[in-house]
Structure formats: structure tokens, C-alpha cells
Amino acid sequence: MLEGTDGGARAAVILNAGAALYVAAVADSVREGVALARAAIASGASRATLERLVATSQRLGEAVAP
């Protein structure tokens, strides 16, 4: 999905992200939020953010593991 594949799942994720950006007051409307979400995916920013989240989660998991 983050690699540009179109389909229902991608559309749902983009719509959800657009709505979240609107609710978080990052976008002035869901439509604007959807445009921001599409741009983030197209630019690779969403993939970079996901990779940072995974790395942080793994690091924290290692710190807690016995």
C-alpha cells in the first residue's frame, strides 16, 4: 500500500488518515487531509515514519525483555 498500489485497502487507509488529520486539526477538511495523506505516501514520508515506529518499538521491546 505504501508503494503506490491502488485498491480498496489503500483508499480506506487514505480516507482514514485524511479524517484523522482533520480531527487532529492538521487539515481544515477531510478532503485536505486526504490530499495530505496521498502526498505523504507519494513522497515516501509515510514509509519513513513507519520504519521509525518499527525501529523504536523493537528497541523498546528489547529494553523490556528479560
Residue 17 vs residue 61, higher pLDDT: 17
The 10s digit of each residue's pLDDT in 13-55 is 999 999 999 999 999 999 999 999 999 999 999 999 999 999 9
Q: Which of 61, 54, 14, 58 is nearest to 33 (CA)?
A: 14
Q: Determine the residue type at 10.
A: R
The answer for residues whose C-beta is within 8 angstroms of residue 47's C-beta and 6 or more apart is 2, 3, 41
Predicted structure pTM score: 0.78
Predicted confidence at residue 3, as pLDDT, reads 66
Predicted confidence at residue 39, as pLDDT, reads 95
What is the residue extent of each domain of the chain?
8-64
